[in-house]
Structure 1
């Protein structure tokens, strides 16, 4: 059963003539006759009775007609939903690294839902390798990660930059060099985190060998620093989220360069109104630079 067959079937019923239906559908009558016979064979039932030069729908045809109307209406709805001017709707599966999901996306997700209530957005978090693998296997429509890497079948675009802020208890006083971290506990996400890698490279350049405690939670990392247990390097989004009443202060170092956060998607995914609207909102949200210290 094909959409074109059902459209021919309904048009013949509506006009009561194969010839008139052929004129409306811009095809020859013999094509419609052949397609209707094929449909009857597939359904195992006669759909029209011939009455003189006209046609009268059969009881079996009446049953199929009800389904044909619903199927054609859904097909038209799907076509409009994917059209150039269609409002975003349907499911949207987005992934993000924890710092982006916690520090950057909450406000944006609320705005997105208000603008596009017909979209059912699912947000999942994970490390960047997992998220890119999920896109490659079509488990996600797109993801935000803090690495810029080539991956076969994936496209990417920079969304925003994250400054890196060293947070330390206020009681530790000023932090001016890598040597000021000597002897202090450092709390970071596990190996593979690009922010951890930036810190490790910075310490290595200054010949500072420091053990790092791995914690896969920014809430726990910030809690440790707030309790005076040590220091951590966090992206600006996390700093801004937790800084109120945190009991610590932020320190910037010119050598700790900002890190791009990119949005990845599958190159063969084609047009996706809900995903495209999400990316446009991301770009608009972070178009203007954010001031770290007010």
Structure 2
């Protein structure tokens, strides 16, 4: 048996798809199929029921799964067995949302790379939901997200800052309330984004109907559209603080308080190396400068 076969098995089981496992592990579809077939031959039983495009663990697969999790955890420990009390080395795969990368992680990443040059560091920017999925599949070690409190029994989520959300519009809308602006164009982030879901939930509570709207994958593009007067949006205060102070955009009045939390997340079964623990300590050690409740918007 090969460790890669077990990694393929776990990824396919977690994602429910050989195709998604191939994408996650960057293998060809043929390699994924070969790994599963070899493992099934070794075990002597089929591990998956192939139901069209869906795959489901058989009873043998369900019995094998916890042992594979235990094996891969031990394998991770073995890869870092050369660490001693004075050395931080190894591989660190981090995921972060765009806002956290731009406004919080820059100094941490710079300091970490300078202090621990023996650590191979990689960073993926994505929305919070895909980042959490990558923690489940093992593609990421740690995710730093900005979203509502994470409620996932498989993940450990440690909050380290609180950031209010603010409704914003062009400077010509200063002193206007959200209730007066129902007909304005709505500037959304993409659909699998926590910010988008929070905005849509707010509109549903207010019985608003989504009319004219635009959708962007980039927070910076959204900000420029707001500044240009193209519509209104909902954004983390930390990402627009400078533009509000310079009056390039305006905060819109509302009685509702919406809050996101900066969180460091990892899988509960993830073995944390010295590199992992050191990075998380550096992130969690940041002063909570995201809580701006006392600032007049």
Q: TM-score, normalised by structure 1?
A: 0.64
Deviation, structure 1 residue 242: 5.3
Q: Deviations over 1:163-221 (max 9, x none)?
A: 10122111112133x31222211112122322222222223323322333211111110
**CA separation in 1, counterparts of 2:108 and 2:122?**
14
Q: State the SS of the aligned residue for 2:285.
A: helix
Cα contact 2:162–2:288 (8 A) shared by 1: no
Q: For 1:142-153, what aligned pairs fall within 5 Å after superposition?
A: 142-145=142-145, 146-151=147-152, 153=154
Q: Note the 1:30-41 alignment, pairs <5 A.
A: none
Distance of 2:182 and 2:107 partners within structure 1: 37
1:88 equivalent in structure 2 = 88
Counterpart in the other structure of 1:71: none
8 Å CA contact 1:153, 1:266 repeated in 2: yes
Q: Is the 8 A contact 2:189 2:218 kept in 1?
A: yes
SS at match of 1:163: strand
- In 2, Cα distance between the equivalents of 1:93 and 1:209? 41
Matched, 1:186 2:186: yes
Q: Give the distance between the partners of 1:137 and 1:156, measured in 2 at CA.
A: 16
CA-to-partner distance for each residue in 1:49-106, whole Å, 9 max, x for gaps?
Answer: xxxxxxxxxxxxxxxxxxxxxxxxxxxx96552x3x3332222110012222223222
Q: Unaligned stretches of 5+ in structure 1? A: 1-76
The residue matched to 1:270 in structure 2 has which SS?
coil
Question: C-alpha displacement at 1:290, in angstroms?
Answer: 4.4
Aligned to 1:63: none
Q: How far apart, in 2, do the equivalents of 1:276 and 1:131 lie?
A: 19
Equivalence for 1:223: 224
Could you tell me the TM-score, scaled by structure 2's length?
0.63
Shift of 1:254: 4.4
The Cα RMSD (Å) is 2.7
Cα separation, 1, equivalents of 2:188 and 2:90? 37
Q: Structure 2 stretches of 5 or more lacking a match?
A: 1-78
Q: 1:274 to 1:233 in 2, by over 3 A?
A: same
Once the two structures are TM-superposed, the CA of residue 244 in structure 1 deviates from its matched residue by 6.7
Matched, 1:133 2:133: yes
The residue number in structure 2 matching 1:112 is: 112
Q: Residue 163 of structure 2 contacts residue 290 of structure 2 at CA under 8 Å; is this kept in 1? A: no
